[in-house]
Amino acid sequence: MLKKTFFAVLLIGLLLGGTKIQPAKAASVTALADIEAGDLIRGESFSAVYYYGEDGFRYVFPNDRTYFTWFDDFDDVRWISDADLGKIQIGGNVTYKPGIKMIKINTDPKVYAINEGGELWWVSTESAAVALYGSNWNTKIDDVPDGFFSNYTRTSEEITGLDDFNPTVVEGSTSDIGEDKGLIEAYDVEITDNDYSEGSITIEVGQTVRFTNNGDNKHTATGDDGEWGSGTVSADGGFWTRRFDEAGIYTFYCSYHPSMSGTIIVE
């Protein structure tokens, strides 16, 4: 069990509240067509910064503490219009880079190291914390608001020393946020005024499909089972993305033009 000194440090307030993410105003606004997977983006009117994933979704940095485990500054943040930002669906929150820090919440005295994919491993003793992060281990702990703690996955793993968890190795094993989240590149399906570009596609479990309407009319991609659907996808470049997390066969059609149909095989 953790020593009293370990608990005492945790109860004091391990880290002062972070400042708002506020990168300096960009010289120009980037067109949505020029944004690439892996880019850092933000809108013109909102201070939140996002990671644009390979899957076509944007992932928000909950605060500056999370951001600075991945990046040293805001130099690479690309500004896009608020309208374009709104076109990219939100995929979730970015979690701390694995190995960098330990985290806890006010309502739980346990301290956790962060492994790949946002997995939390319990640092069970003060000696374990010292082994992992040195004598100043207490400066390596961040309090995470309860509302963000659900972004992480608590495991049954217990850390008693470097043999269980080596922060340097863990940190070096993840090069970027997309890899940490296990994102898979989106499969692109083009919608025209007559059909979908492919009548049948096969994707992996967890992969996304991005429907882009390059026609002149409104279209949809609507599941035959009524369980999912894009709603109206506007003409001339509007798009919608969906992740398919379970294996199966998903048939769909355009609710404006029911003769248009397609099949997604997830395996």
pLDDT (tens digit, 9 = 90+) per residue, 98-153?
999 999 998 888 999 999 999 999 999 999 999 999 999 999 999 999 989 999 99
Q: How confident is the model at residue 46 (pLDDT cuts 50, 70, 90)?
A: confident
Question: How many Å separate Cα 96 from the centre of its chain?
Answer: 11
d(CA 235, CA 215): 6
Radius of gyration of the chain measured on its C-alpha atoms: 22
pLDDT at res. 1: 44
Question: Where in the sequence is the domain holding 243, given as residue range(s)?
Answer: 187-266
> 105: Cβ–Cβ under 8 A, 6 or more apart, which residues?
143, 144, 145, 146, 149
- Mean pLDDT value across residues 210-219: 97
Q: Are 87 and 203 within one domain?
A: no
Of the candidates 143, 164, 183, which is a domain's last residue? 183
Which of residues 140, 159, 183 is at a domain's end?
183
pLDDT at 10 over 60: no
Structural domain count of the chain:
2
Residue 11 has pLDDT above 70, yes or no: no
Whole-angstrom distance, CA of residue 68 vs CA of residue 12: 23
Q: Are residues 31 and 86 in the same domain?
A: yes
pLDDT of residue 156: 95
- What are the tokens at 21? 């993410």
HSE, CB side, 13 Å, CA atoms: give it for residue 195: 6
Alpha carbon distances (Å) from 226 to 22, 196, 212, 253, 261: 41, 19, 20, 11, 14
- The answer to whether residues 31 and 138 belong to one domain is yes
Helix (H, G, I), strand (E, B) or coil at 83: helix
Cα–Cα distance for residue pair 132/165, rounded to 1 Å: 8
Tokens of 121: 């491993």
Give me the sign of the Cα torsion angle 77, 79, 80, 85. positive
Q: Work out the end-to-end distance of the chain between its first and last CA atoms, rounded to an integer number of angstroms.
A: 45
Residues 246 and 223 reside in one and the same domain? yes
pLDDT of 63 > 60? The answer is: yes
pTM of the complete model: 0.88
pLDDT at position 106 is 86
Q: Tell me which of 160, 183, 206 is where a domain ends.
A: 183
Neighbouring CB atoms inside 10 A of 168's CB total 10
Does 259 share its domain with 153? no
- From the DSSP assignment, how many helices (H) and strands (E) are in the chain? 7, 17
Q: What is the mean pLDDT of residues 165-172?
A: 96
Quick one: pLDDT band at residue 89, thresholds 50, 70, 90? very high
pLDDT (mean) for 77-91: 96
